[in-house]
Structure 1
Amino acid sequence: MDDETPRVELTPAAADLLRRLRAEHGPLMFHQSGGCCDGSAPMCFPEGEFRTGASDVLLAELCVDGVEEPVAFWMSRSQYAVWSHTRLIVDVVAGRGSGFSIEAPEGVRFLIRSRVVDV
């Protein structure tokens, strides 16, 4: 993937939900672990509520119109090894996902759509 190709992007629906969640919860972050509990889905947390470390990779700092600070998108290093040749597209669908992600009470969940990209 070249430097011009974003690793992670947002659909308009995901950006709208992030604006609403930001207004209610303050600065936000995503983490995608690849583990249990909807680990293949990105989970959204108030910034700093999920501790990242050496086993995580910062894939993007997503800029959302109307939100002051970027929304960091982290992924576990082991999950990134599997997804490294894809562009991740954060979307929103109806239904409940993980109880750990802050959008769960809204009756929607974040979902990753992906597209293979040339390296």
Structure 2
Amino acid sequence: MIEASVVVPGETMPRIAATDEAVGLLRKLWSDNGPLMFHQSGGCCDGSSPMCYPDGEFITSDNDILLGVLDVSDGSRPQPIDFWMSREQFEYWSHTFLTVDVVKGRGSGFSLEAPEGVRFLIRSRLMDTAKPFA
């Protein structure tokens, strides 16, 4: 598992991580499509799907917040992936730590993993500011 860099102003702990399976898929998608980005869909529940796009294909605005940057590099060169969420959605999820995972089955939408027969999935848990995340 990898954790994202801390980018939310005033915070000292990451908010995003990716499982080893997700990292492997992201490396493949990066190889096939070039630089990537995520935007968290507007779902209200645990299990909402993050959408993976070629970097810059989804236009962000002042209504979005960058929650973290995942580096899925295999050691040869940096492969940063920005993870965005709408500010409105962040208000609901501000107390959660999000882990990007992969499950079998096709999701809906235009996320890059769809042709692979899998979909990205968010697993969430309450943030614990007293200790680092493992």
TM-score using structure 1 length: 0.89
Structure 1 gaps, min length 5: none
Structure 2 gaps, min length 5: 1-9, 130-134
Aligned counterparts of 2:89 and 2:109: Cα–Cα separation in 1: 21
Alignment deviations for residues 58-115 of structure 1 (CA, whole Å, 9 cap, x no partner):
0001111326231000001111111111110000000001231010000000000011
What is the DSSP-based 3-state SS (H/G/I as helix, E as strand, rest coil) of the residue aligned with 1:101? coil
Map of 1:9-88 to 2, 5 A cutoff?
Answer: 9-34=17-42, 40-66=48-74, 68-88=78-98
TM-score using structure 2 length: 0.80
What is the DSSP-based 3-state SS (H/G/I as helix, E as strand, rest coil) of the residue aligned with 1:13? helix
Aligned counterparts of 2:68 and 2:110: Cα–Cα separation in 1: 21
Letter aligned with residue 55 of structure 1: N
For the 8 Å contact 2:73–2:79, the answer to whether it is kept is no
Map of 1:103-118 to 2, 5 A cutoff?
Answer: 103-118=113-128
Aligned counterparts of 1:112 and 1:74: Cα–Cα separation in 2: 13
Aligned residue pair count = 115
For the 8 Å contact 2:97–2:125, the answer to whether it is kept is yes
